[in-house]
Amino acid sequence: LKQIYDKDLMYKGYTIQPYSPKAGTGLSSHEVNQPGSYRDVTDTTVVAQFKALNETLPSFLKEFGDIYILAWTTTPWTIPSSQAISMGAELEYSLVQCATDTGPIRLICSQTLLGSVMERLEIADYQVLARCQGEALEGLVAEHPFYERNIPVLLGDHVTTDAGTGCVHTAPDHGMEDFTVAKQYGIGTLNYVMDNGLFRDDVELFAGEHVYKVETHIIDVLRENNRLMACSKITHSYAHCWRTKT
């Protein structure tokens, strides 16, 4: 070990891993991959708006006025910990103007997923104003939906067009892919959630609430801030603790 240390090949760091609040322990990759660890669950999905800061927009988007990035998640409880939005460098994105009951709104999402996104939002009247690859949006900064926090656009290889909007809300505390891409941009973790699954006492709006029970409150806050675009249920496969079945 001393030889490794002397060659500057050893460093102190940290990573994230699956954790079971009920069991009070982390889960290794071996445990998570045991037969039966992944089970189908029905969760609430959310499409949220992140308002782009006009001064950070690339020049070809500045003429259009206020613009919002659409991010989709199956884990609304992670939105308080959101620190970035990930996009695919080579994926094509569209700026779309949509007619709504409260007037026109301009949204950014994946061109490939545009049809399914508009269907999820129940918007029939829309027009593509501009298109670009994700790499042109790197460095754009948006506002967090309900906190005073800047949310930069990052580029990540994990972003796909299999589902969602092509814009991935990124919480480094709660996903290995999120953690990895955020680390590349110098973004760390916030550690908002305690070992027992409760938000820490200093977490604005949600202090003391359990991550398993907070999604309704988070959705209400999104709605109060006019940042909720859609909310629905989805059945998908999710990792469970083999000890507690949660």
Give pTM, 2 decimals: 0.83
Cβ neighbours of residue 197 under 8 Å, at least 6 residues apart? 21, 22, 210, 211, 212
Average pLDDT over residues 156-166: 84
Q: Is the pLDDT of residue 144 over 80?
A: yes
The structure tokens listed for 243 are 């000890």
Cβ neighbours of residue 87 under 8 Å, at least 6 residues apart? 93, 134, 137, 138, 153, 154, 155, 156, 159, 166, 167, 168
Give me the pLDDT at residue 86, please. 92
Q: Is the pLDDT of residue 69 over 90?
A: yes
Give me the pLDDT at residue 28, please. 62
Sign of the Cα pseudo-torsion (177, 179, 183, 187, in order): positive
Round the average pLDDT of the chain to a whole number and report it: 85
Maximal CA-CA distance, the chain: 68
Give me the pLDDT at residue 188, please. 87
Q: For 81-127, what is each residue's pLDDT tens digit?
A: 999 999 888 889 999 999 887 888 899 998 899 888 888 888 888 88
Indicate the residue type of 97: Q
With residue 92 as reference, give the H or E element that holds it. strand 92-100
The residue that leads in pLDDT, 28 or 193, is 193
Give me the pLDDT at residue 23, please. 60
Indicate the residue type of 42: T
Cβ neighbours of residue 187 under 8 Å, at least 6 residues apart? 83, 84, 172
Q: For 35-48, what is each residue's pLDDT tens digit?
A: 666 777 777 888 99
Average pLDDT over residues 214-240: 84
